[in-house]
Amino acid sequence: MLASLRRQSRDTLCLVRTLWFYLAVLATACGGNNSLRGFPEPDVTATHKAPELLQSCQVRSGRLVVEIESVLVREYPNFGTVPKYHGQRPLLVVTLESPTPNPVNAEAAVVMAPAGYQPGEVVEFFRGRRILDRPWRHITGRRLTVRVMENDSSSPPEWVRIVNQVSAIAPAGALVGVSVPGAVISDGAWLIAQLDPDDLIMLYRLELDSTFSALGTLEEHRALRLNAVTPRQVAGSKGGQSPVAEVQLLAHLEPEPGCP
């Protein structure tokens, strides 16, 4: 009996050692040729190149700033679906389009106004808010798109639910460069794909290169007032027809920190 137990123990020990041997061989083989690991360190250790000495303010040629002067909405797509005393909740979806063919490089920011606005009222919540504040050298060749939309509280689309969740953890600032109420969606392409066209009031695209050219240089201290109106008309309070929505933007240049 005792001899039998010793033999079983010896066999078990041999089996365990054999398993450990094959596991070690397998680990060595996988570790030596594992495609999930990084490149070998000698291949990725950067070499030092001679630095370029630049005149700081010559390279940092200024920031392009675009801010809201006025947003007027005369007609909301879903007006009447909620009690009148609740009012409507307008919002801005601002997109800095991708500088490359890859749409995931787009950026977007959402600024939501509080509920309570009636058709024909200027959305004071948006007045004076910067929707772009970036060094010009980083946004050449790009386009800024502004969407004026309505948050239909009777049946909020999926993207509004996501934005409401994000806004609790990420204040809008990645796009505009300053902190404003709202939310930032780093994947602007995803956000645009989720937008419900039924909530759209105005779509305005601004080519930044032409805007910058019109502003001239920092020394000229120019500002550009951009006026956008919708082709869609609505009956005015004094008769005649007026655009459903009007937006005024103010674009200007500001020096970068430490530059005159």
Give the closest residue to 156 by CA, choosing from 115, 199, 92: 199
**Number of CB atoms found within 10 A of residue 212's CB:** 18
The pLDDT tens digits along the chain (260 residues) read 545 545 555 555 555 565 555 555 555 555 555 556 889 999 999 998 999 998 888 888 899 999 999 999 999 987 765 555 567 889 888 888 877 777 767 777 888 888 889 999 999 999 999 999 999 998 999 999 999 998 765 555 555 555 555 443 333 444 544 433 344 445 555 666 666 666 899 999 999 999 999 999 999 999 999 999 999 999 876 778 999 999 999 999 999 988 98
* Domain spans in the chain, listed from the N-terminal domain onward: 60-254
Distances (CA, A) of 3 to 9, 16, 17: 10, 20, 21
Please, which residues bridge with residue 254 across strands? 63
Residue 191's φ and ψ, nearest 5 degrees, are -60, -45
Question: For 61-88, how does the pLDDT look when each residue is reduced to its tens digit (9 = 90+)?
Answer: 899 999 999 999 999 987 765 555 567 8
Task: Record the pTM.
Answer: 0.72
Question: For 3-37, how does the pLDDT look when each residue is reduced to its tens digit (9 = 90+)?
Answer: 554 555 555 555 556 555 555 555 555 555 555 68
CATH superfamily, region 60-254: C2 domain (2.60.40.150)
Give the closest residue to 145 by CA, choosing from 254, 233, 247: 247
